[in-house]
Amino acid sequence: MDKKMEEKIFEMHAEVCKSMANPVRLKIMSLLREGEKSVEELRKQLELPKANLSQHLGVLRQRGIVSSRRAGLSVYCKVTNPKMIKACDILREVLFELMQESEKLARGMTRKR
């Protein structure tokens, strides 16, 4: 891979990570793991105002992480590439492992006192 291409990939990677650096957006991704959902379903499950949800979905759409389609009066959203869910799952597993390790260390320090 040439240097320009590699630099562009790093920039795109950073932009995607910035887009995902929000708990609400991560919750949206989690809800969409089972497949397409209407904006109204997402709004109810997340208990968010419609404008706030639309803003978050807009960020995810802008980065190509989520796509949407209109059917009558409803708008439906889905994850554009299932590998994004896989990436979220892997990072989540790492975070759980880090938490468990921290808890083990904390328990070990408590016993020493």
How confident is the prediction for the chain on average, in pLDDT?
93
Architecture of domain 3-80: Orthogonal Bundle (1.10)
Q: What is the pLDDT along the chain (113 residues), one digit of tens a residue?
A: 799 999 999 999 999 999 999 999 999 999 999 999 999 999 999 999 999 999 999 999 999 999 999 999 999 999 999 999 999 999 999 999 999 988 888 777 766 65
104: exposed, middle or buried (Cβ count in 10 Å: 0-12, 13-18, 19+): exposed
CA-CA distances (angstroms) from residue 75 to 21, 58, 71, 108? 24, 13, 6, 51
Task: State the pLDDT at residue 110.
Answer: 66
What local confidence, expressed as pLDDT, does residue 112 receive? 61
> Please, where are the H alpha helices in the chain?
3-20, 23-31, 39-46, 50-62, 82-112
| Residue 19 half-sphere exposure toward CB, CA atoms < 13 A | 22
Indicate the DSSP class of residue 22: S
pLDDT at 71: 95
